[in-house]
Structure 1
């Protein structure tokens, strides 16, 4: 139902699946931090906000056509973080890769297909021979595990 709800906002079922997955991760973080009294309503609100934010981003990206804006984006892309930030990012990335290695093979495959190859949940489910909801579940579980390893305070 959440995917159908998000599809009406973002206009694409595959984008809606991504929105719902992100919403679920945010919902679980919020639920760990405090008691959510109306979880279904709260989850729908997260989905709505993420879907609307996604549409806004697409609208902004679509409006950038002139040379000045393109040049500004190129200059901003050339800005590199300071060495300390790079070292922190490398350390976090190492932890995430170690966490990925600790996951079951099926979970690693699902995360790789989704995050690296941009595959939709239906494609991942078909490849692994599982349901779409199970594919989403193992991706969410795997990403949560990686996030927890990267930042134990989450």
Structure 2
């Protein structure tokens, strides 16, 4: 990716921009390493540094002292690397293969985690049996079957607000029984 090292600036105002580009080219290896630490991928890091090059080549010239140029270039690469990482994370969230999602849980499930998961399910089942039938019904219909609270309220002949409270109370009871403390 040394091809951007041969850019020439013809106008007088581009001299400062040329100094920034020279700083980028001189520090390219360290910039790629810094971007790789953020993006987690050397090829994406190369793309980030290339984007920084084009941004500096096309952007307005900055009157920066020699020492500040390197900091400025590193900051641009740092910010672009973070943007790239965020974009990659967003893309992965919405474009993962359906098979990857179904196999992920199976691949990471060890006998220990499977046992712990089964214990937790047993505790939740026991906790649900301790609840009044109407509260248990509202909780299961909402959390397990995905039924809307207003529909559950109609079935039970109560207000949606009461259904909301029953679901909340059931959740609190289940958390207490499995000694679950949510992260704060």
TM-score normalized with structure 1 length: 0.52
Alignment gaps of 5+ in structure 1: 1-58
2:131 pairs with one of 92, 98, 103? 103
CA distance change for structure 1 residues 118 and 70 in 2, over 3 Å: closer, same or farther?
A: closer
**C-alpha separation in 2, matches of 1:101 and 1:60:** 42
Alignment gaps of 5+ in structure 2: 1-89
The structure with the largest alpha-carbon Rg is 2
**C-alpha separation in 2, matches of 1:103 and 1:73:** 34
Cα deviation digits, residues 46-92 of structure 1 (max 9, x gap): xxxxxxxxxxxxx868842xxx8345435424414111111111111
Question: Are the equivalent residues in 1 in contact too, given 2:175–2:181 (CA < 8 A)?
Answer: no
Q: Relative contact order, CA 8 A, sep 6+: which one is greater? A: 1
- Which residue matches 1:135? 163
Query: Which secondary structure does the structure 1 equivalent of 2:97 belong to?
Result: helix
- Which residue matches 2:177? 149
For the aligned residue pairs, the C-alpha RMSD in angstroms reads 2.6
**C-alpha separation in 2, matches of 1:151 and 1:142:** 14
CA distance change for structure 1 residues 121 and 77 in 2, over 3 Å: closer, same or farther?
A: same
Q: How does 1:82-121 map to 2 (within 5 A)?
A: 82-121=110-149
Q: How does 1:6-25 map to 2 (within 5 A)?
A: none
The count of residues paired between Structure 1 and Structure 2 equals 93
